[in-house]
């Protein structure tokens, strides 16, 4: 027997019995974003490598260690996207979307790829929901994108997710801060990891994000960016806080947040939970006012966030958040004989055209085996179809929950089955109302 092939380490399958949970999450997120004017964009899974080097930053772990980069048959260096913002900016510029009414509001659900050590909540192929808001300089935009994520968490019924915010300033005020950081880290340069030694002159802020315990200990006493921001950046940050207060969104100022990508400016934020282990950041984002210009476009202050769907799903399960039930098949037609099999195919297709999930036998099973299969599928109703039923033009629809049977005319099956389903729904509603009155 041939050796079986397993999934690549750091990837996972979403099985048929689980996919409805993903569909619910994605649908809810897209619907929530649409309330704020965001429309879906879909970008390619791979781009020119230079796109990510220029946008994400060549001092980041993502570019230095984690990207899946390869040469295609034309000799071009391509990279599987490690995040969604760079491709969205490229799309904005390539199609001239910045010439339309501003701000341009885009959202997406996509897969991303990073070569990291797999662990709970961190995979090499992972999925994100994100939003990007291009051409919005005011602090009200920062507060609004935070509100999108906050609103989504509320719709899911999640608790104990803490919003942490910070300002990492603009290039002008950051220059003073970077020099203060260099001065701090030079005192312990010999103890820094090799990667951070290379970051010291190029971008010492990346040292603050290092996972090395020794670098983390040194970084713990480093100066805080919030103490170096200029008057304009401070006023912007105060504006963000004021608007969050007005919207009733609680937050904590965390001066250690820098985010892992180089393009961020001014506001950065994270939604954090302590219920899913070490990978507690469920959503993170902020401003990237210079990124569009860096990528060859006009000066276009912009911002956005990304939400990890695997981590979101982990958190929902950890908190016991209920998912809507997966839609079960409504009718299983049990054919007995060749003529009945042909008729079953006909009737099932008629029902499907009216929006009913109707199934029939595809394996040539007997009556007992088919009923057992229907039970496994948790089918709502069954209809046994044999020569007698075909001859009479009538058959019985059985409610699998109650055992009740209702005779229907086969030439009017769709309409009569609709009545059965509706009557059952009304009966269930009446029971619920009566229960409430007790």
Structural domain range at position 103 = 19-170+229-318
Q: Which long-range contacts (CB under 8 A, 24 or more apart) does 413-420 make?
A: 413/347, 413/350, 413/351, 414/350, 414/351, 414/354, 414/356, 417/331, 417/351, 417/356, 417/381, 418/354, 418/356, 420/381
pLDDT at 60: 66
Token pair recorded at residue 241: 């806080």
pLDDT at 276: 78
Q: What is the CATH number of the domain that holds 128?
A: 3.30.930.10
Pair 397, 417: CB distance under 8 Å? yes
> Reduced to 3 states, what is the DSSP secondary structure of residue 223?
coil
Which residue's entry shows tokens 């999640």? 158
Choosing from 318, 342, 367, the residue where a domain stops is 318
pLDDT at 59: 58
Neighbouring C-beta atoms of residue 384, cutoff 10 Å: 20
Q: What is the CATH number of the domain that holds 424?
A: 3.40.50.800
- Same-domain pairing of 311 and 376: no
What does each of the 438 residues of the chain score in pLDDT, given as a tens digit? 788 899 999 999 999 989 999 999 999 999 999 999 999 999 999 999 999 988 776 656 677 778 999 999 999 999 999 999 999 999 999 999 999 999 999 999 999 999 988 877 788 999 999 999 999 999 999 999 999 999 999 999 999 999 999 999 988 888 888 888 888 988 888 888 888 888 888 888 878 877 788 888 888 888 888 888 999 999 999 999 999 999 999 999 998 887 766 788 899 999 999 887 766 899 999 999 999 999 999 999 999 999 999 999 999 999 999 999 888 999 999 999 999 999 999 999 999 999 999 999 999 999 999 999 999 999 999 999 999 999 999 999 999 999 999 999 999 999 999 999 998 877 666 544 345 445
Q: Which long-range contacts (CB under 8 A, 24 or more apart) does 29-35 make?
A: 29/107, 29/109, 29/129, 29/152, 29/307, 30/107, 30/109, 30/129, 32/148, 32/151, 32/152, 32/155, 33/107, 33/131, 33/148, 35/151
- DSSP label of 371: H
In a domain, 198, yes or no: no
In a domain, 285, yes or no: yes
- Same-domain pairing of 245 and 351: no
- Same-domain pairing of 118 and 261: yes
Neighbouring C-beta atoms of residue 291, cutoff 10 Å: 26
Token pair recorded at residue 179: 């020099």
pLDDT at 74: 93
In a domain, 179, yes or no: no
In a domain, 114, yes or no: yes
In a domain, 153, yes or no: yes
Question: Is residue 27 within a helix (H) or strand (E), and if so which, with residue range?
Answer: helix 19-35
- Same-domain pairing of 257 and 366: no
- Same-domain pairing of 291 and 355: no
- Same-domain pairing of 357 and 303: no
Round to whole Å and give the CA distance between 158 and 318.
Answer: 10
Choosing from 318, 350, 384, the residue where a domain stops is 318
Beta strand 162-167 with 252-253 is parallel
Round to whole Å and give the CA distance between 314 and 127.
Answer: 13
Token pair recorded at residue 116: 């990291």
The angle at the Cα of 375, spanning 372 to 376, to the nearest 5 degrees, equals 90
Choosing from 279, 296, 318, the residue where a domain stops is 318
- Same-domain pairing of 44 and 156: yes
In a domain, 217, yes or no: no
pLDDT at 280: 84
- Same-domain pairing of 252 and 311: yes
- Per the structure, the count of domains in the chain is 2
- Same-domain pairing of 254 and 340: no
- Same-domain pairing of 138 and 267: yes
Beta strand 281-287 with 265-272 is antiparallel
Round to whole Å and give the CA distance between 91 and 266.
Answer: 24
Identify the burial level of 112 via C-beta atoms within 10 angstroms of its C-beta, where 0-12 means exposed, 13-18 middle and 19 or more buried.
buried
- Same-domain pairing of 294 and 350: no
In a domain, 72, yes or no: yes
- Same-domain pairing of 343 and 308: no
Pair 259, 286: CB distance under 8 Å? yes
In a domain, 224, yes or no: no
pLDDT at 429: 60
- DSSP label of 122: B
Token pair recorded at residue 346: 């006909």
């Amino acid at each position: 027997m041939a050796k079986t092939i397993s999934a690549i380490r750091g990837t996972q399958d979403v099985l048929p019995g689980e996919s409805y949970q993903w569909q619910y999450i994605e649908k809810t997120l897209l619907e929530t974003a649409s309330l704020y004017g965001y429309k879906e964009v879909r970008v390619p899974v791979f781009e020119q490598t230079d796109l990510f080097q220029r946008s994400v930053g060549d001092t980041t772990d993502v570019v230095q260690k984690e990207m899946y980069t390869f040469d295609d048959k034309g000799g071009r260096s391509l990279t599987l996207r490690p995040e969604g913002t760079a491709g969205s900016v490229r799309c904005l510029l390539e199609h001239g979307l910045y010439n339309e009414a501003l701000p341009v509001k885009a959202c997406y659900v996509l897969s991303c790829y990073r070569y990291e050590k797999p662990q709970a909540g961190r995979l090499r192929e992972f999925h994100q929901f994100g939003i990007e808001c291009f051409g919005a300089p005011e602090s009200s935009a920062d507060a609004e994108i935070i509100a999108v994520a906050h609103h989504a968490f509320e719709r899911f019924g999640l608790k104990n997710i803490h919003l942490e915010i910070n300002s990492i300033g603009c290039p002008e005020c950051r220059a003073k801060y970077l020099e203060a950081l260099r001065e701090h880290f030079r005192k312990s340069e010999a103890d820094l990891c090799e990667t951070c030694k290379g970051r010291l002159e190029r971008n010492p802020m990346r040292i603050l994000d290092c996972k090395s315990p020794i670098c983390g200990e040194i970084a713990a006493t480093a100066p805080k960016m919030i103490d170096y921001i200029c008057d304009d950046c401070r006023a912007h940050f105060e504006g963000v806080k004021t608007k969050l207060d007005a919207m009733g969104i609680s937050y904590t100022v965390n001066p250690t947040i820098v985010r892992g990508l180089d393009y961020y400016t001014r506001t950065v934020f994270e939604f954090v939970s302590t219920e899913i282990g070490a990978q507690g950041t469920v959503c993170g984002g902020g401003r990237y006012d210079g990124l569009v210009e860096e990528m060859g476009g006009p000066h276009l202050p912009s911002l956005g966030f990304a939400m990890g769907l695997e981590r979101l799903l982990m958190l929902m399960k950890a908190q016991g958040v209920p998912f809507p039930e997966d839609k079960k098949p409504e009718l299983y037609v049990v054919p007995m004989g060749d003529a009945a099999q042909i008729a079953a195919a006909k009737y099932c297709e008629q029902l499907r055209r009216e929006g009913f999930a109707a199934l029939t036998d595809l394996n040539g099973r007997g009556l007992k085996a088919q009923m057992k299969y229907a039970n496994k599928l948790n089918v709502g109703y069954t209809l046994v179809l044999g020569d007698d039923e075909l001859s009479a033009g009538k058959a019985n629809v059985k409610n699998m929950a109650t055992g009740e049977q209702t005779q229907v005319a086969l030439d009017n099956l769709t309409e009569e089955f609709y009545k059965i389903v509706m009557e059952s729904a009304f009966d269930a509603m009446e029971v619920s109302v009566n229960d409430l009155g007790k």
